[in-house]
Amino acid sequence: MDTYIPAEYEVVRNPDLCIACRVCERQCANEVHSYDKDLGKMIADSGKCVNCHRCVCLCPTHALKIVKSDDTYRLNSNWSVQTMNEVYRQANSGGVLLSSMGNPNDYPVYFNKILVNASQVTNPPIDPLREPMETQVFLGKKDVEIKRDMEGKLVDTLPPQLKLKYPIMFSAMSYGSISYNAHESLARAAEELGIYYNTGEGGLHKDFYKYSKNTIVQVASGRFGVHEDYLSAAAAIEIKMGQGAKPGIGGHLPGMKISDDVSQTRMIPKGVDAISPAPHHDIYSIEDLRQLIYSLKEATAYTKPIIVKVAAVHNVAAIASGIARSGADIIAIDGFRGGTGAAPTRIRDNVGIPIELALAQVDERLRQEGIRDNVSVVVAGSIHSSADVVKAIALGADACYIGTAALLALGCHLCRSCHLGKCNWGIATQRADLVRRLNPDIGYKRLVNLVTAWGHEIQEMMGGMGINSIEALRGNRLMLRGVGLNESELRILGIHHAGESM
């Protein structure tokens, strides 16, 4: 704690309701609450509170709330409280500021400025409860040649595909950044849902090979945990070139999160910081990328699609075009709102572009160049709801990755303190007593519920548009209209303003 910085949040306890059961005290890894024997009541040290709401949720008498402190510096429209505090923190530590989860700042969320169409009178809506409504998608290259054998029968030349029951996958979150139980929840949910989860760059724990049919394994610049069995176990392999929360830089897993198990899975020493370099040291061009893609394909006998994940940056369309020509089967684009277990604050809050704009431009460029079918496009970076999924698909995506939403389903309250390793919800921690708080039996069910619910909503929205399959929605930008967007934004998104017809 920096003595220059007053508590941002205040723990408020209703003394009439508190029965001093001390659940809050036992559940707070930040040691905010304690029982004062002299006073005979519970007290709280708000300065230590990260506002994760664990105590609020578990308080059996609802005696607690956490409020934004009304303590204030002299009001100043130029120097915000946050900016001042950041200066204090750096003056105290001399270090780079670290943050967790996605960019929380007040940038536009374009999904919220896009509206979806519905059928009226002339083209009837479809009721998904009564008629078939296809949410299944296949990810992979679709550029098949038509080949016939000697007898004139069609030869199957379709490259390997990923089959998803819903156009939703769980984003890459490494074992190390999140806990064993969080990983187990994601893996089991992916299996039950018929979708995929992604190991992130932390390797695949030996216990989770049994979920390998629903596992995407990642090969990132640190190459942590990459070995033959890891690659051959997976349903698909993702090469991580960049991450939306921190484009242009690598990763940094603090040593205290490298437990025995994490160290074994990552194949690195215990307790030592795990640094992934900013670039892949063997990739400095699309040609180099192509070499890695084909190395991985060769290693797995051309049986698995290769995903290349990049952060949404200013010339993402040209980059995607290069990737589409490099032999990749799927491009994943991560927008600037994407989450992270830890990123330098300045990078997270100032680098990258919104996923909606990146997606629209990538889809447009790939179509113009006639190579859209070379790849599937998966988007990530703050997909908040099923409506965002529908809008993303109409803008041209094949599927979406959800990371933050999945963690919320597991209990995350976005306190954005993952980098401290003391997650009270048992998600972003390796401390055994905290990891235990996330029972995968509960966690996986909540994830299944979330995606199933979104699936229903996607069906309802598609039905309303008179569309009965995801295929017919993809890139269907006429189903979208912008509100409150300027000409450039509309042009980039490739959509009309609300009120304009065809």
Partner 1 sequence: MKRIYVNEKWCLGCHLCEYECAFANSGLDKMFKLKGRMGELVTPRIKVEGEDKGEIHFAVNCRHCTGSICVQSCIAGALSKTDDGMVVIDKNKCVGCFTCVLVCPFGAIMPSPDGKAAQKCMLCTDNVKGEPNCVKYCPNNAIVYEER
Using CA of residue 129, residue 132, residue 133, residue 137, what is the dihedral sign? positive
The single-letter code of the amino acid at 134 is: E
Alpha-carbon gap, residue 406 to 355, rounded angstroms = 18
Question: Minimum distance from CB of 23 to partner 1 (Å)?
Answer: 5
Asked whether position 26 contacts partner 1 by CB under 8 A, the answer is: yes
Computed on alpha carbons and rounded to an integer, the radius of gyration of the chain in Å comes to: 24
Q: How far is the CB of 411 from partner 1 (least distance, A)?
A: 10
- What's the rounded Cα separation, in Å, for the pair 419 and 110? 28
| Span of 14-22, 206-214, 278-286, 473-481 interacting with partner 1 by CB under 8 A | 14-22
Q: Which of 312, 329, 456 is nearest to 390 (CA)?
A: 456
List the x/- string, 249-288, binding to partner 1 by CB under 8 A.
----------------------------------------
Binds partner 1 by CB under 8 A, chosen from 22, 147, 270, 281: 22
Residue 427 CB, nearest distance to partner 1 (Å)?
Answer: 14
Mask 205-244, x = binds partner 1 (CB under 8 A)?
A: ----------------------------------------
Tell me how crowded residue 5 is: count the other CB atoms within 10 A of its CB.
15
Pair type for strands 274-276 and 251-253: antiparallel
Nearest distance in Å: CB 44, partner 1: 17
At 245, give phi and psi (nearest 5°): -75, -20
Among residues 2, 4, 12, 17, the one that binds partner 1 under rule CB under 8 A = 17
Site for partner 1 in 415-474 (CB under 8 A): 432-433, 436-437, 439, 441-442
Work out whether 63 is an interface residue with partner 1 (CB under 8 A).
Answer: yes
- DSSP line for 100-133: -SS--S----GGGGEEE----TTS----TTTS--
**Alpha carbon separation from 15 to 51, 142, 232 (Å, rounded):** 20, 64, 58
Tokens at 354, concatenated = 């919104």
One residue of 10, 11, 13, 27 binding partner 1 per CB under 8 A: 27
Choices 22-30, 236-244, 449-457, 494-502; region in contact with partner 1 by CB under 8 A: 22-30
Would you count residue 23 as binding partner 1 (CB under 8 A)?
Answer: yes
Size of the site for partner 1 (CB under 8 A): 21
DSSP state of 20: -
CA 268, CA 230: separation in Å to the nearest integer? Answer: 15
Q: Which stretch binds partner 1 (CB under 8 A): 60-68, 89-97, 297-305, 480-488?
A: 60-68
Backbone angles phi, psi at 484, to 5 degrees: 65, 30
Nearest CB to partner 1, comparing residues 272 and 432: 432
Instruction: Look up residue 184 and give its DSSP letter.
Output: H
Nearer to partner 1, 219 or 435 (CB): 435
Judged by CB under 8 A, the stretch of 21-29, 280-288, 322-330, 333-341 that binds partner 1 is 21-29
Please name every residue paired with 496 in a beta bridge, in sequence order, or none if there are none.
481
Q: Does 60 bind partner 1 (CB under 8 A)?
A: yes
Part of the chain binding partner 1 (CB under 8 A), chosen from 18-26, 160-168, 217-225, 473-481? 18-26
Residue from 12, 61, 227, 303 that binds partner 1 (CB under 8 A)? 61
DSSP state string for 137-177: EEES------EE-TTSPEE--PPP-EEESSSEEEPB--BTT
Of the candidate spans 19-27, 277-285, 306-314, 343-351, the one that interacts with partner 1 by CB under 8 A turns out to be 19-27
CB-wise, 440 or 455, nearer to partner 1?
A: 440
Choice between 19 and 144, CB closer to partner 1: 19
CB nearer partner 1, residue 179 or residue 326: 179
Per DSSP, the three-state class of 40 is: coil
149 sits near partner 1 (criterion: CB under 8 A): no
Closest of 165, 112, 121 to residue 466, by C-alpha: 121
Find the DSSP H helices in 380-439: 386-395, 404-409, 432-435
- Interface residues with partner 1 (CB under 8 A) are 16-23, 26-27, 58, 60-61, 63, 432-433, 436-437, 439, 441-442
